[in-house]
Amino acid sequence: MRIASVVGTRPQLIKAAVLQPLLRARHDEVFIDTGQHYDDALAGSFIGELGLARPDHQLGVGGGSATGQTAAMLVGLEPILAAERPDVVIVYGDTNSTLAGALVAAQLRLPIAHVEAGLRSFDRRMPEELNRVVADHLATWTFAPTPTAVANLAREGVTDGVLLVGDLMQDLAARLSLGVQDPAILDEISARLGAEARGLELRPGGYLFATVHRVENREPAAIRAWAALLGAVSTRDRPVVLALHPGTAVALEAEGIGLGPTVQVIPPQPYRATLALQLHSAAVLTDSGGVQREAAWLGVPCLILRDTTEWLEAVAGSGGRMVVVGLDVGRATAELDRLESSDQTEAVVRARAAGLHLQPSGAGAAIVEALERGSR
């Protein structure tokens, strides 16, 4: 088969890092990067770190509004896919790159495989929700990571081509988890950060790890709310280490909103370092779907800085370690206090890391097998 894979963001590169070697072992893959994440810390360095092939086509669309980004991708993708004429176009997740890839493929009457299909937050204010719904209804194959995702598709009348395959991100986390268990990796991260982490002591259970990147959390009121929340839950002895998305940093600076003295800002980290910072933290605070899942697989307490989540199984199966708190300071503080005695001591964190045995889901092999069956 000739397969075109469309990526553009950091989470999509993570998923492609699992699927690409399996595809290329038996098929011809055309790798297309829209450049939606154009900062090297967000995406560029991931290609080398995760062993991905260099893209065959790079659109370089860069930043802008969701509409502007998507429009540029549509214009850039159409001649590429028209010339390549793949047997299937693979799109991942719920980004503007996902939407653009699915729309162009549908217009060219090319079969579409949507990886990570069926997820729903049931909040149409989120651009990601719109993107994933459209991609699901255009797709020939909808590869769902969870039973809830399969049920969501069925409720919308999508039943043909649906397959429960597991989660590609779990496969990559399982592959790399052994390499982040030793807390000595924190010293390695500190040394690499250098002056960017001046005065920060990374020790197991001695910090909270946070990420904030969603569009809704770049609005002025939301920025004030999560900045206050991070300041409230952090202390000198247990600071928040915030890996700050470049777009969020720009919004924060534009509003002139400062972060508390116990919030340590660092750049977005490579994949392995991000796993390590989660695993050895007292808890994770995030609005990222990917980080939510990683925290769940690693067994780390996680506060979700959104009002809804599409990863219901992760919350339900966490034994109370994963909680949706939105931007409510009181709720976040209360949940961390609840977790403090059982999940946040240094001994517990060290034992958690040492005992980690994360199993892959087998999603990559299941996806390749389904595509091969469908092409016969």
Alpha carbon distance 165, 366 (integer Å): 6
Alpha carbon distance 224, 231 (integer Å): 11
Q: CA nearest 163: which of 138, 136, 181? A: 136
Q: 37, 57, 114, 213: which is the annotated catalytic residue?
A: 213
Q: Residues near 254 by Cβ (< 8 Å), separated by ≥ 6?
A: none
57 flagged as catalytic? no
Write the DSSP symbol of residue 44.
Answer: I
Alpha carbon distance 318, 297 (integer Å): 9
Alpha carbon distance 153, 171 (integer Å): 23
Alpha carbon distance 105, 91 (integer Å): 10
From the number of C-beta atoms within 10 Å of its C-beta (0-12, 13-18, 19+), residue 229 rates as: buried
From the number of C-beta atoms within 10 Å of its C-beta (0-12, 13-18, 19+), residue 232 rates as: middle
Alpha carbon distance 75, 73 (integer Å): 5
How many CA within 13 A on the CB side of residue 170?
Answer: 19
Show which residues are catalytic. 213
